A and B are shown apart, each in its own frame.
Chain A
């Protein structure tokens, strides 16, 4: 049996999580009782939606966070977390999704940063360069040690990031969504390198959204959902749809919105719109779409599939490189944000405190921002204090915003109440077109239900709504139609109904199926 090859049961795993739980001081349960093991010298994939707990788990592994309960075993031994340079001491390196490189430094400088070879008081540059050369030969990752990092292509920068992660006797390499920034041939190249590293005995943890990539690369997979272990298994033992089931959760029967009897006239017509952006989240390709008055169109897709680009192009924040956008009969292809808003756009941004409002300004100020020229609220340039207070009190009452006082700062509100106030402001304009981008992410159930009812009412009153959400329950509850984005394209379009379930959307979201 020994001669036949390593036996999983006998071997001490490189990494083992033993009942790891993490509760944040604010009460958020990020992980509860997660246990799984990773075999030495294997590629292990970790999957899960946003907020499933992947990042928290990796931070715990890396010693950046202390688990509330449970332990992490490295090579079978429990380790004390919290030490400075914990990861370095235990031979762990991480390739971040957003590179941790300093663009103005050279490749060599970036790689040695934090553990520079010294000659007396100064950095031994000759030795440093030699180190980089040795590394890049050893792992067959060729880079120019003297190149300025920021001038390299994204794929080359990633190589630098990998070399940096490998530069300290690394035994465990963690890659956080490494393919998000790469083109298909570059992905192929990366996978080739990773398999090569594995064959040299490196243990690799590969975090990804994309099932096809997981299958192409990994030996085993762990799925997290809502902070819990949804499953851990050898990939050979599980079919795709089983993994998908684990990622998405069981299909919950949702109460769907009753769509308007007949959709109205077309409000927004998008024809073959593409953007040219570096970041995958901003990149869309040949999107065509029509939104009718009274209709809610849901946009599904794993994060970074082009949702942000679509929203930006349809709200005057980004200009498409080709295609045409007609809003309300006017060509708005290159219109700016103010033109869009004046034409009847309202927007609930995903970044509530960064874009939806000014956290340091008061509820009153946030409530009336953007109402320039409203005669009721100002006389000449002067704001009418009482009228404004009355207006904001009305908004707060209508949307039952729990608040400590209307002159307090916006960030004194909870996320749900802040979002209600933002919604009150945006919907007060009676928009012809509303973009609701993750309208209920991170907010409590009651506030979410309230906002859902409001969105339904707004649609009934004749607005066209584009609902971008990662929450499939929300998507299916509200949408009349659903489009699925994958890699910037519309991978599928469905009319919502009882037969539309997460299972049907899943393969398109994960890129396993494409529009025929």
Chain B
């Protein structure tokens, strides 16, 4: 087990190096247009690490994507490609906001209860596609993708007609009461107690996946459905449990994001952090222990990009371009290292050379 984690870590480092190379290739032409090209590179690469505040920013950015990455990891391990984590994230944030605004939650427990409610409601985004797949064999990829948008528009409806503060200029909810907000951990950043939850959740999920019987059974089902059938594992039930767990984590991530960072709920588009979570999961090779470093790495890139746009004057579009290029490289190289994909390739090769 330790060896496999080490191997995973090595591959993570390789991926990070490849990504850094891509960054340089994209960034250098823009850097050369600036008066001090070298400063651009150092701001991007060293900047995120040069102060406690910036490091705190990295952790802040990493918190939601670690959780959505974990959600995607749990779901992918069951062998389903359920993309409901994005909708679950959105729904979790909305439900947590609605809970603190509409329900009489006791002050001291308000954040915890609101996060729990957000998790429970958000999990529906993963449960429904999972159920349709298991019961009716509907492609979970299609249903979850479509459901994400249904959830978005239903959410905007609720925001507009139930939670909207008419006094606020734009479409946003009433102010989230201060006692319902998550505790801030580091002055000057928005790093909040959600980060602790993310770390604990990833470690607990790693232990559960690799060191318990239910975790083993889930991995068997995801890795080799035929073997699971042979063993008589109740595949439907276990796969469903993974969708529920993944959905809960995604919903929790959304709730933590809203209660930890924002004064009001104002998402009128899918926030995209569920998608980023999928990149994190692929990068972490669907290993909860590696989700944390993977999320921190993406957080580091993001903070570097922010520094560029704020301090060096590289336009945000370029930063967006860099982030996209990195996502592409990271995903591609992680996919090439992905055991499932490699197995697929090997199967084709074997089919070619094997006599029958």
Q: Are B355 and A372 within 8 A (Cβ)? A: no
Contact of A360 among B217, B223, B229, B232 (CB under 8 A): B223
Contact of A359 among B212, B224, B229 (CB under 8 A): B224
Q: Are A383 and B213 within 8 A (Cβ)? A: yes
B223-245 vs A, Cβ < 8 Å mask (1 yes, 0 no): 11011011111100000000000
Task: Name the A residues within 8 Å of B343 (CB-CB).
Answer: 359-360
Nearest chain B CB to A422 CB, angstrom units: 10
A382, closest chain B residue (CB):
B212
A383 touching B232 in the complex, CB below 8 Å, given contacts A24-B354, A51-B355, A372-B217: no
Task: Name the A residues within 8 Å of B356 (CB-CB).
Answer: 50-51, 55-56
Task: Name the B residues within 8 Å of A357 (CB-CB).
Answer: 224, 227
Q: Are B220 and A356 within 8 A (Cβ)? A: no
Task: Name the B residues within 8 Å of A360 (CB-CB).
Answer: 223-224, 339-340, 343
Task: Name the A residues within 8 Å of B230 (CB-CB).
Answer: 337, 347, 349, 355-356
Nearest chain A CB to B77 CB, angstrom units: 12
Nearest chain B CB to A338 CB, angstrom units: 4
**Residue B51 lies at the interface, judged by CB distance under 8 Å to chain A:** no
Taken together as a complex, chains A and B put the C-alpha atoms of A128 and B355 apart, in Å, by: 36
**Residue A317 lies at the interface, judged by CB distance under 8 Å to chain B:** yes
Nearest chain B CB to A301 CB, angstrom units: 19
Nearest chain A CB to B68 CB, angstrom units: 25
A382 touching B211 in the complex, CB below 8 Å, given contacts A55-B356, A337-B229: yes
Taken together as a complex, chains A and B put the C-alpha atoms of A383 and B216 apart, in Å, by: 9
Q: How large is the interface on A (under 10, 10 to 19, 20 to 34, 35 or more residues)?
A: 35 or more
Q: Are A381 and B212 within 8 A (Cβ)? A: yes
Q: Are B212 and A383 within 8 A (Cβ)? A: yes
Interface residues of B in 217-271 (CB under 8 A from A): 217, 219-220, 223-224, 226-227, 229-234
**Residue A106 lies at the interface, judged by CB distance under 8 Å to chain B:** no
Task: Name the A residues within 8 Å of B4 (CB-CB).
Answer: 407
**Residue B1 lies at the interface, judged by CB distance under 8 Å to chain A:** yes
Contact of B219 among A347, A356, A365 (CB under 8 A): A365
Task: Name the A residues within 8 Å of B219 (CB-CB).
Answer: 358, 361, 365
Task: Name the B residues within 8 Å of A381 (CB-CB).
Answer: 212-214
Q: Are B224 and A56 within 8 A (Cβ)? A: no
Chain B binder among A25-33, A444-452, A464-472: A25-33
**Residue A336 lies at the interface, judged by CB distance under 8 Å to chain B:** yes
Task: Name the B residues within 8 Å of A358 (CB-CB).
Answer: 219-220, 223-224, 227
Interface residues of B in 187-218 (CB under 8 A from A): 211-214, 216-217
Q: Are A351 and B231 within 8 A (Cβ)? A: no
Taken together as a complex, chains A and B put the C-alpha atoms of A347 and B229 apart, in Å, by: 12
Interface residues of A in 297-354 (CB under 8 A from B): 316-317, 336-341, 347, 349, 351, 354
**Residue A53 lies at the interface, judged by CB distance under 8 Å to chain B:** yes
Q: Are B227 and A356 within 8 A (Cβ)? A: yes
Task: Name the A residues within 8 Å of B233 (CB-CB).
Answer: 338, 370
Nearest chain A CB to B37 CB, angstrom units: 46
Q: Are B232 and A365 within 8 A (Cβ)? A: no
Nearest chain B CB to A362 CB, angstrom units: 8
**Residue B3 lies at the interface, judged by CB distance under 8 Å to chain A:** yes
A337 touching B223 in the complex, CB below 8 Å, given contacts A24-B354, A55-B356: no
B343, closest chain A residue (CB):
A360
Contact of A378 among B1, B213, B232, B339 (CB under 8 A): B213
**Residue B353 lies at the interface, judged by CB distance under 8 Å to chain A:** yes
Q: Are B223 and A26 within 8 A (Cβ)? A: no
B208, closest chain A residue (CB):
A381
Contact of B216 among A30, A351, A369 (CB under 8 A): A369
Q: Are B355 and A55 within 8 A (Cβ)? A: yes
Q: Are A338 and B226 within 8 A (Cβ)? A: no
Nearest chain A CB to B220 CB, angstrom units: 6
Contact of B232 among A22, A316, A354, A368 (CB under 8 A): A316
A337 touching B232 in the complex, CB below 8 Å, given contacts A360-B343, A407-B4: yes
Task: Name the B residues within 8 Å of A339 (CB-CB).
Answer: 232
Nearest chain A CB to B204 CB, angstrom units: 12
Contact of B353 among A25, A51, A372 (CB under 8 A): A25
Nearest chain B CB to A238 CB, angstrom units: 27
Nearest chain B CB to A270 CB, angstrom units: 20
Taken together as a complex, chains A and B put the C-alpha atoms of A84 and B236 apart, in Å, by: 44
Task: Name the A residues within 8 Å of B213 (CB-CB).
Answer: 372, 378, 381-383
Nearest chain B CB to A82 CB, angstrom units: 14
Q: Are B224 and A354 within 8 A (Cβ)? A: yes
Q: Are B353 and A26 within 8 A (Cβ)? A: yes
Task: Name the A residues within 8 Å of B355 (CB-CB).
Answer: 22, 24, 28, 30, 51, 53, 55-56
Taken together as a complex, chains A and B put the C-alpha atoms of A316 and B231 apart, in Å, by: 11
Task: Name the B residues within 8 Å of A382 (CB-CB).
Answer: 211-213
Taken together as a complex, chains A and B put the C-alpha atoms of A53 and B355 apart, in Å, by: 7
Chain A CB count within 10 A is highest, among B216, B220, B234, B353, for B216
Nearest chain B CB to A380 CB, angstrom units: 8
Nearest chain B CB to A125 CB, angstrom units: 29
Q: Are B223 and A341 within 8 A (Cβ)? A: no
Task: Name the B residues within 8 Å of A349 (CB-CB).
Answer: 230
A360, closest chain B residue (CB):
B223
Q: Are B227 and A354 within 8 A (Cβ)? A: yes
Taken together as a complex, chains A and B put the C-alpha atoms of A416 and B229 apart, in Å, by: 22
Interface pairs A-B: 4 shortest CB-CB: A338-B232, A358-B224, A337-B232, A30-B355
**Can you offer 20 A-B residue contacts whose CB atoms are under 8 A?**
A53-B355, A56-B355, A336-B232, A338-B232, A340-B232, A354-B224, A355-B227, A356-B230, A358-B223, A360-B340, A361-B219, A365-B216, A369-B227, A370-B231, A372-B217, A381-B213, A382-B212, A383-B211, A383-B213, A407-B1
